[in-house]
Structures are given as structure tokens and as C-alpha cells.
């Protein structure tokens, strides 16, 4: 068993290793999603449930079923080979990971639900889960994105909480999945609302020597960092495709970070500045702008002078994996436009207008000539 929990300043919790097996019922974990990060999350969790007495060993992973070119179903292949050959080839998930294509069956006994699908599928998934889960289940969302409904914007953790009537924490960070899959060191941030003990339990479930997790009491701040940095990563990829160099890319990242903070604080006054210095903030922004999928596809878009669409390039370059930045830019644009804030967020606004073809990729650097009409804090 690992070192005892250490408290850092204020609301932070790091590296809790007290299993608590004697005082609570064993938890059963289900991972909802089996893409690139979903598979790595299942692997990470499964190695911990084997070691922690207060968790059942088995980790169930809901798979959006698909038929592979071989004619085999993905779920069968995962269970036979212990490998997600489509979304995480070459990595064993752990024999205690059980792939399940039946969503209802996958969640029915779970006491802890880990949501990790592309954000655009979550509304439909939540609707399917109503009445199918245990009422006191705890949830965490690893999903970077938001929904914009008629009533206004809704973070994915709120969508889960509101539709299912359950508590939902978030886990975000500088977490390029393929690097964590091969156990290279990284950090992550758990955001929680009120219940520190629940946050400690999530920290325990995810922490490992190569994956250091810190919890902060700022769900919205953590989730908005993870969500908004994908728009900045599109901008960074455009800069790469235009071969503008490192200084321009750094400038775009700085301006993007400033817009991330301003937008987050306008949306939720509770968002803390300190959250932007956690893994979910500046570290995730850097890693995604250097090595993420949003960056990669945006680079190709700029190299093609915007003549091939993001959808086409996503399908070709990501082979079934999904971009979040393009749809997030659209969703954020809708919020900005509804609230009359477009001119305050020139980078977010320009990214969307480039993605939909209203502006050329070169506009990403030209926009800065038009300074924000209002001073961003
Ligand atoms: N891959 C990464 O490095 C990281 C991803 N994330 C976030 O994790 C979330 C999930 O991403 P990944 O696991 O990487 O997924 P992915 O992009 O690798 O895979 C797409 C997934 O969507 C599924 N899917 C396709 N159509 C569907 C439908 N109609 N309904 C439900 N599922 C469907 C596919 O089966 C597949 O599992 C995203 O919000 C992403 O931003 C967060 C950190 C790192
Ligand atoms: O969120 C990520 C890293 O933390 C991954 O970003 P991409 O989806 O751009 O690959």
C-alpha cells in the first residue's frame, strides 16, 4: 500500500493511498467509452483495482460496438486479445477489463461510473442511462467538451448530474493517451464540488507512480480548462501548418490561455486562478498544442489552405478517433454570439470562422491586429 494522504494548500488532495477497505463497501467500476483515452483509463484503473481491497477487481468497459475489417466485432476481439486493436493497438488492458457492448448491462451493478466518450455522444448516452443506474452511484467525467442547448451552455459533468441525478467530478490534465499507455510520467487534476472524500476516492482509483493526481475544489474551472484548450490547439495547429514558427505559436497559446481564463470566469465566477496552474490548465494546453490530435488535423487543414474539410481530414488522419476542438469552437461561438461577447474573444471567434470556411487559415495570425474591444482580466 502506498503512502498516506498528504494535504497541500487549501482544498488540494494529492496521492491518497489509504485504501479504506475496512470502512466502506467494495466499489464496482464501469468505464463508459472505449476510444483512445477510454481504453487507457480502463487500463490504469484496472491495474489499481487489482491492488486496492476496497474495489472489485473487474472493470467493465462499455464499447460502442463496431465490426472490424476482419469481420469480427470489436468487443469480442478486446475480450479475446485483451487489446483494443482499433483505438489502442499494441497495449494490453489487463485481464480484469471486460468489454461489454450492452450499455445497460455494463452499468447495472456499478457504484462508480467513469465517463470517457467524445462529448457529442453524451446527451444520447445519458438519455439511455436514465433509470438504469444505481441511485447512489458516483460519477467522474474525463470528457473534454460542452453542450449548448436552447437554455444555454451546459458542461458535460452538469449534463450527467442533471440528467441522471448523480454527483459528478471531473478528471482533466496533460494526458495524451498514447503516452500514458506506455506509462510515461504525467499528472492530472480531479475537480470536485463539495465532497472531498469522494474526490479522494477518485484520486486513489487513478493514481499510480507514473500518473500523479491532485484534486481541487473547482469542477467548472477544471472542466473548462480541458474543454477550451482544444480550441487553442486548433489555432496552434493552424500556425504549424502555416509554418509561422515557435514565437507565433507561443503567442497564440498565451492569448488562448487568456481567453480560456476570461471565458471561464465570465461563465462561473467561482473559477479559481490557481486552477490554471494545475495539470488541467497550462500543462494540458501545452501538451495538446505540441502533440495532440486537434493540432495535427488543424495543421493538415492549413497545409491544404482550407480546401479539405476538418471532417474529411479527421476521418483520414484519425481513423475513427474524434476531434473535440472544432465542435467546441462552434459551441463556444454560439455562447459568445448569444451574449454579445464575440469581440472580446477574437481567438475563439476566429478559430470557429476558419473551421467553417468563413475566414482563411491565415486569419489566425491576422486577427491579433484587431485587439479585444474590452480588456480581459
Ligand atoms: N485521446 C486522448 O489523448 C485524450 C482524450 N481525452 C478526451 O476523452 C474523450 C474521449 O476520447 P477518446 O477516448 O480519445 O475517444 P476516441 O476519439 O479515441 O474514439 C472515439 C470513440 O467514440 C466512439 N463512438 C463512435 N460513434 C459513437 C456513438 N455514436 N456513440 C458513442 N460512441 C461512439 C468510438 O467507438 C470510440 O470509442 C474526449 O472528450 C477527449 O477529448 C482526454 C484526454 C486525452
Ligand atoms: O486532451 C488531450 C491531452 O490532454 C488530447 O488532446 P487531443 O484530443 O487534441 O489529442
Q: Which tens digits make up the pLDDT trace of 163-198?
A: 999 999 999 999 999 999 999 999 999 999 999 999
What residue ranges define each of the domains in the chain, with the CATH number in brackets? 6-217 (3.40.50.720), 221-369 (1.10.1040.10)
**How remote is the CA of residue 109 from the centroid of ligand 2, in Å?**
30
* Residue 301 and residue 326 in contact, taking contact as beta carbons nearer than 8 Å: no
Please state the pTM of the whole predicted model. 0.93
Q: What is the dihedral of CA 153, 352, 35, 249, to 10 degrees?
A: -120
pLDDT, tens digit, for every residue of 83-131?
999 999 999 999 999 999 999 999 999 999 999 999 999 999 999 999 9
Q: Is the CB of 49 under 6 A from ligand 2?
A: no
Structure-derived torsion over alpha carbons of residues 179, 304, 225, 135, reported in degrees to the nearest 10:
-80
Q: How far apart are CA 30 and CA 185, in angstroms?
A: 24
Residues 229, 249, 296, 303: which is the catalytic one? Answer: 229
Cα separation, 308 vs 312, whole angstroms? 7
Angle between helices 293-303 and 310-318 (to 10 degrees): 120
Radius of gyration in angstroms for the set of CA atoms belonging to the chain, rounded to a whole number: 20
Q: Are 293 and 318 in contact (CB under 8 A)?
A: yes
Please name the residue ranges forming H helices in 114-267. 122-129, 156-164, 177-181, 196-206, 219-241, 246-267
Nearest ligand (C-alpha, residue 322) = 1
First to last CA, the chain: 44
Tens-digit pLDDT profile for residues 225-252: 999 999 999 999 999 999 999 999 999 9
Q: Mean pLDDT over residues 316-325, rounded?
A: 97
Q: Which helix (H) or strand (E) holds 348?
A: helix 346-355
Q: What is the mean pLDDT of the chain?
A: 92
C-alpha to C-alpha distance for 124 and 120, rounded to whole angstroms: 9
pLDDT at 25: 85
Does residue 229 have an active-site annotation?
Answer: yes
| 174 annotated as ligand-binding | no
Distances (CA, A) of 232 to 80, 99, 289: 40, 34, 7
CA 41 to ligand 1: nearest atom = 13
Amino acid at each position: 500500500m502506498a503512502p498516506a494522504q498528504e494535504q497541500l494548500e487549501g482544498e488540494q488532495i494529492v496521492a491518497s493511498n489509504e485504501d479504506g477497505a475496512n470502512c466502506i463497501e467494495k466499489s464496482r467500476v464501469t468505464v463508459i467509452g472505449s476510444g483512445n483515452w477510454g481504453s487507457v483509463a480502463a487500463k490504469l484503473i484496472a491495474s489499481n483495482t487489482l491492488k486496492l481491497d476496497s474495489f472489485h477487481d473487474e472493470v467493465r468497459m462499455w464499447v460502442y460496438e463496431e465490426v472490424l475489417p476482419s469481420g469480427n466485432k470489436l468487443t469480442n476481439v478486446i475480450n479475446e486479445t485483451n487489446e483494443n486493436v482499433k483505438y489502442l493497438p499494441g497495449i494490453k488492458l489487463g485481464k480484469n477489463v471486460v468489454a461489454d457492448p450492452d450499455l445497460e448491462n455494463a452499468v447495472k451493478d456499478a457504484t462508480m461510473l467513469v465517463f470517457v466518450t467524445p462529448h457529442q455522444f453524451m446527451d444520447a448516452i445519458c438519455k439511455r442511462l436514465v433509470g438504469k443506474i444505481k441511485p447512489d452511484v458516483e460519477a467522474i467525467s474525463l470528457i473534454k467538451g460542452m453542450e449548448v442547448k436552447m437554455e444555454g451552455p451546459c458542461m458535460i459533468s452538469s449534463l450527467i448530474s442533471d440528467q441522471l441525478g448523480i454527483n459528478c467530478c471531473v478528471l482533466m490534465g496533460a494526458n495524451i493517451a498514447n503516452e500514458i499507455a506506455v506509462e510515461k510520467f504525467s499528472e492530472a487534476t480531479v475537480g470536485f464540488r463539495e465532497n472531498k472524500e469522494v474526490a479522494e476516492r477518485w484520486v486513489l482509483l487513478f493514481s499510480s507512480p507514473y500518473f500523479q493526481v491532485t484534486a481541487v475544489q473547482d469542477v467548472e474551472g477544471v472542466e473548462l480548462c480541458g474543454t477550451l484548450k482544444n480550441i487553442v490547439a486548433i489555432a496552434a495547429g493552424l500556425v504549424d501548418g502555416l509554418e509561422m514558427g515557435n514565437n507565433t505559436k507561443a503567442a497564440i497559446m498565451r492569448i488562448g490561455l487568456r481567453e480560456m481564463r476570461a471565458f471561464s470566469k465570465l461563465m462561473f465566477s467561482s473559477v479559481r486562478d490557481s486552477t490554471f496552474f494545475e495539470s488541467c490548465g497550462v500543462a494540458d494546453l501545452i501538451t495538446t498544442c505540441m502533440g495532440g490530435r486537434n493540432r495535427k488535423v488543424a495543421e493538415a487543414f492549413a497545409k491544404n489552405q482550407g480546401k479539405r474539410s476538418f471532417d474529411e481530414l479527421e476521418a483520414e488522419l484519425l481513423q475513427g478517433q474524434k476531434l473535440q476542438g472544432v465542435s467546441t469552437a462552434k459551441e463556444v461561438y454560439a455562447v459568445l454570439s448569444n451574449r454579445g461577447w464575440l469581440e472580446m474573444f477574437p481567438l475563439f471567434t476566429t478559430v470557429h470562422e476558419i473551421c467553417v470556411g468563413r475566414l482563411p487559415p491565415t486569419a489566425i495570425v491576422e486577427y491579433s491586429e484587431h485587439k479585444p474591444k474590452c480588456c480581459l482580466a
